[in-house]
C-alpha cells in the first residue's frame, strides 16, 4: 500500500530571534528551548491527531493509539518533530462489533449484511455480490480521515502552538539558573 506524506519546510528563524531577543538568551539556551519545543509540539500533535481521528471515524482512541506515534530528533543540526499515523485499514473485529438488524455495528460504523463465519475466530465478513460467494473480510479505512484531520485541524494550529511552547521554554531556560 502506498503511503502519502506531507512535508512542509518554512524558515522561522526571524520569529525565533524576535522572541528570544526579549529574554536575553545564550545560543545554548536557545538551542535547548527549540529542541524541547519541537518534542513537545510533536507530542501535542500526536494527542490532537488521536483525539480528532477517533472523533472523525467513531473508533475508540484506545484502538487507534498504536497507530499514532510521535518522535523528535536532530536532523542536520536542526531539531525535527514528527507525527506518524499508520494508514493500513483497521480490522472490524478489533472494534468489538455486535450483531444488529441487517448486519453488524461497531464503533459507530454499520456494515450491512455482515456476518461471522464461526464464533471462535470472531472474524467478520461481508458478501461482495448477491451470490453466496465471494466474501470479503471487513476492514475500516482510516487513511483518508487521517489526512483530513492533519490538514484541516492540526496543521493550521501547529505553527501558533510551536511559538507558544517555544516562548514558555525559552522563559524557563533563561530563568532557571537565576535562582
| Over residues 116-135, mean pLDDT | 83
| Alpha carbon distance 99, 115 (integer Å) | 8
Instruction: Report the side by side order of strands in the sheet with 98-100.
Output: 98-100, 103-106, 109-112
Model confidence over 19-75: pLDDT tens digits?
A: 877 888 888 888 899 899 999 999 999 999 999 999 988 888 988 999 888 888 877
- The pLDDT tens digits for 84-120 are 888 888 888 888 888 889 889 987 788 988 888 877 7
Q: Of residues 179 and 102, which shows the higher confidence score?
A: 102
Phi, psi dihedrals of residue 39, rounded to the nearest 5°? -65, -45
* Confidence (pTM): 0.79
Amino acid at each position: 500500500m502506498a503511503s502519502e506524506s506531507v512535508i512542509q519546510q518554512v524558515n522561522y528563524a526571524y520569529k525565533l530571534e524576535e522572541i528570544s531577543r526579549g529574554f536575553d538568551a545564550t545560543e545554548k539556551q536557545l538551542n535547548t528551548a527549540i529542541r524541547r519545543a519541537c518534542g513537545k509540539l510533536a507530542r501535542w500533535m500526536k494527542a490532537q491527531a488521536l483525539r480528532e481521528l477517533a472523533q472523525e471515524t467513531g473508533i475508540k482512541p484506545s484502538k487507534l493509539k498504536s497507530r499514532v506515534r510521535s518522535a523528535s530528533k536532530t536532523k542536520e543540526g536542526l531539531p525535527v518533530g514528527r507525527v506518524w499515523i499508520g494508514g493500513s485499514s483497521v480490522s472490524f473485529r478489533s472494534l468489538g462489533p455486535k450483531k444488529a438488524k441487517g448486519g453488524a455495528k461497531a464503533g459507530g460504523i454499520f456494515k450491512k449484511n455482515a456476518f461471522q463465519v464461526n464464533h471462535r475466530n470472531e472474524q467478520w465478513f461481508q458478501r461482495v455480490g448477491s451470490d453466496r460467494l465471494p466474501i470479503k473480510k471487513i476492514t475500516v479505512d482510516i487513511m483518508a480521515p487521517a489526512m483530513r484531520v492533519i490538514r484541516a485541524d492540526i496543521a493550521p494550529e501547529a505553527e501558533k502552538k510551536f511559538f507558544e511552547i517555544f516562548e514558555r521554554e525559552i522563559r524557563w531556560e533563561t530563568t532557571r539558573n537565576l535562582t
